[in-house]
Amino acid sequence: MDVLIKGAKLIDGTGDSPSLNSFVLVRDKKIIDIGSQKKLPKHLEKFRVLDFPNGTILPGLIETHSHMHCTGNKESLERMLLDSEETLIMRSVKAMRESLLSGVTTMRDLGSRNRVAFSIKEAIVNGIIDGPRILVAGTPITTTAGHCYFFGTEANSQEEILHAVRRQVKLGADCIKIMSTGGNFTPRSNPRRAQFSLQLLQDAVDDAHRLEVPVASHCHGTEGIVNSVSAGVDNLIHCSWISSNPSEGYDYREDVVDEIADKGIFVDPTIALGHLRQIDDPEADVFQPGGVFYDLDARYEMLRDMWEKGVRFISGLDAGMYMGEFGTHYNSVLVMIEKMGVSPIDAIKCVTKNSAECLGILQETGTLEKGKSADLIVLSDDFEKNPDSLQKVDTVINKGEIVKENQIPLI
């Protein structure tokens, strides 16, 4: 379908200032032209026109952190343990559609059962179901009784961890997810302490990189962060800086932050999840002294310092976890603006260009540029003045196909 999209403002995802009264031309799933409406080409009679005189055109959002078969509510763990594989697949199909209609045109799943994750990816690629461009890790690599062991691959030795990496690559994993610390989702896994030694983590990273597959490391505790940075992972998930000693709260290491920035390691702070959980249940154990989300204000301050030191942030909701409902991916952007104090333009860059670069697909998507995939969304309002307008995306175009128009789903 040939489409002409016109808007009062265009934010291209590069971090540059918005363009006013702009247009985007789409043909054969690609952006074939982009620019000022004053320079709009002639002879466009065959193009379908979508005009937003007060609206904002943006790149499609990129969700870098999801668990497609999890519920996103308080029952997430229970349902993960009890539901059949068929139910998990059906839930994943629903999650893909909800995410796409919310404006997510690219998603990375960072930990789901192999038979679910790879089946969903194949179904989207083959046009059997509707969904965003999807990259998957499959089962995460963890230790026995470690974080997410119930849908992960348990590995405790060099032989086991190398086998786990190679098995995921053999299945077609787009990245390797490794649990360098415990996590909140898994009882008794201890998010404060490292699950793997530095040597085992290094072995996993070296072998993944030999096979040209990036590594994302789940790390709440500072022990795990330090090991992950030393091992040379490509992406830190959470990066919570929690001390191994509960009485000490955070253990923020500025020298390690400098190393993260120097190495160009992308950080997904999952910033929205703690904020949303605090609103829902402020008395929960995780917000008490010694809890993982204790003193969120101090954590926002650390994230601001990381930003100022040049760390590159990406956008991950941790969709599927409690308060991470699919279709609410905009929360990562809004909380980043509110709590970190970044500009709307910079927040959009994190959820588009930075995230695409982290996933290795920047040449294909992530910014609005001629020749790239026609993945874009349109808001009916001025995003810079009203970031909350991201909660109600008016129109979604996924690889050149209009899947939502005037708030009406077309899939």
- Domain residue ranges in the chain: 3-60+367-409, 61-328
User: Residue 13's beta-bridge partner residues?
Assistant: none
**CA Rg, the chain, in Å?**
21
Q: CA-to-CA distance for 228 and 216, rounded, in angstroms?
A: 9
Q: Decide: residue 250, CB within 10 A, 0-12 exposed, 13-18 middle, 19+ buried.
A: middle
CATH superfamily of 3-60+367-409: Urease, subunit C, domain 1 (2.30.40.10)
Write a three-state SS string for 202-224.
HHHHHHHHHCCCCEEEEEEEHHH
Q: Same CATH topology for 3-60+367-409 and 61-328?
A: no
Alpha carbons 118 and 341: distance in angstroms, whole number: 38
**Which three-class secondary structure state does DSSP give residue 122?**
helix
> Going residue by residue through the chain (411 aa), what tens digit of pLDDT does each one get?
899 999 999 999 999 999 999 999 999 999 999 999 999 998 898 999 999 999 999 999 999 999 999 999 999 999 999 999 999 999 999 999 999 999 999 999 999 999 999 999 999 999 999 999 999 999 999 999 999 999 999 999 999 999 999 999 999 999 999 999 999 899 999 999 999 999 999 999 999 999 999 999 999 999 999 999 999 999 999 999 999 998 888 999 999 999 999 999 999 999 999 999 999 988 888 888 777 788 999 999 999 999 999 999 999 999 999 999 999 999 999 999 999 999 999 999 999 999 999 999 999 999 999 999 999 999 999 999 999 999 999 999 999 999 999 999 999
- Please tell me the class of the 61-328 domain: alpha beta
